[in-house]
Amino acid sequence: MREAIRSLPDGIYTATGYLDGYEDTGEVDIPIKVTLEIKGDEIRVDLTGSAPQLDHAPINMPFYGTTDMAVLLTLRMLLLPETEHPNLPHNAGMFRPITIFAPEGTIVNPKFPAPTIGRFCGGQMVANLIVRAMQDVLPHHVCAGCSTTKAVTFSSVRDGESWIYMDVTEGAYGGMHDLDGLDAVDVLYANTKNNPIEDIEVHYPLRVERYELRENTAGDGQWRGGYGPLRDTRMLVDGFISVEGDGFRHAPWGLKGGEDGATGGVMIFEDENTKGKLLSSKIDNMYVKKGTVIRDLCPSGGGFGPPSKRSALARQRDVEDGLELDKE
């Protein structure tokens, strides 16, 4: 790790991003700021400038286990990628050259008893910002903006027993040098399982009626962003849904002249003749009647490099795959 850091130019590199926040209270566009100082064979990561903790909202991030892991795992990925260093052990020695400062009482290091169940929203942003801050230092290793993690929770009572299903949805990577973003995957430090549709429908009164990539949404670029998925799930009983996510207000950013990707969202359709209603990214136990369709729209990644440099062959391949309209 020290050798990898030593190969980088000394300097200070910053990036700022924003969480959606809470529209019902007016607390929106919550900032997270990352400053990396590279000096010799060490890196100092400073999160000063991030928002104060929210005592009423569960998007605070415990420093240990969320903030520190988002920083350390992302730097490991950038500096010692598995493709080039496949057998390096994860241990304290690997991360000793990296120090992290996060002011106490902020969203990235809250004071007890701050609520933290939605910590993954900010954690993904921290990881994204580490990548963004390193764009001029490691231009061939960084990617454009990636999606954030979102959990949609379904619940009700069936045969006298309560049930609950939390659907943690994937998104997409941003494009990077010489590689389009990956479609419909967990990104950065997330690694949740993509639950098979058959398993969902066997165990819960839910029916998945549509599951596909969101065509025409990836950020354009020399290497385009990945496509996030779309999933329609119908409630077969009266029940409730909750949403804990992010990326509904801010799209994954493009890098090096690439275009931004697409924001995510959750919509509900109460019947076949009703126009869909777009929900906010934080919903607590909203009642939905039997037959309601919940549409989960996952963000698509940002593009990398100028769109004018994308090859005609790559564009034609996307058209043939049904991902893009033929613009000719």
pLDDT, position 326: 64
Name residues whose C-beta falls within 8 Å of residue 48's C-beta, 6 or more positions apart in sequence.
33, 35, 101, 103
C-alpha–C-alpha distance, residues 120 and 245, integer Å: 8
Flag whether pLDDT at 127 surpasses 80: yes
pLDDT, position 178: 96
* H/E run at residue 94: helix 92-95
Nearest to 220 by CA among 323, 78, 328: 323
pLDDT, position 222: 98
C-alpha–C-alpha distance, residues 28 and 181, integer Å: 28
**pTM of the model as a whole:** 0.93
pLDDT in tens, 299-326: 999 999 999 999 999 999 999 999 987 6
Nearest to 43 by CA among 35, 55, 52: 35
- The sign of the dihedral angle between the CA atoms of 5, 132, 184, 63 is positive
Flag whether pLDDT at 192 surpasses 90: no
pLDDT, position 271: 85
Nearest to 67 by CA among 113, 13, 104: 104
Cβ–Cβ contacts within 10 Å for residue 177, how many? 16
C-alpha–C-alpha distance, residues 302 and 220, integer Å: 7
Residue type (1 letter), 259 = E
C-alpha–C-alpha distance, residues 56 and 299, integer Å: 26
C-alpha–C-alpha distance, residues 227 and 209, integer Å: 19
Supply φ then ψ for residue 3, to 5 degrees: -65, -40
Flag whether pLDDT at 49 surpasses 60: yes
C-alpha–C-alpha distance, residues 192 and 115, integer Å: 22
Name residues whose C-beta falls within 8 Å of residue 131's C-beta, 6 or more positions apart in sequence.
74, 78, 142, 143, 146, 188
pLDDT, position 117: 87
Q: Which residues of 261-297 are buried (b: 16+ CB within 10 A; e: fewer)?
A: bbbbbbbbbeeeeeeeeebbbbbeeeebeeebbbbbb
- Structure token pair of residue 31: 């900032």
In angstroms, what CA-CA distances link 316 with 47, 85, 306, 322?
Answer: 43, 34, 17, 10
C-alpha–C-alpha distance, residues 152 and 166, integer Å: 6
pLDDT, position 327: 54
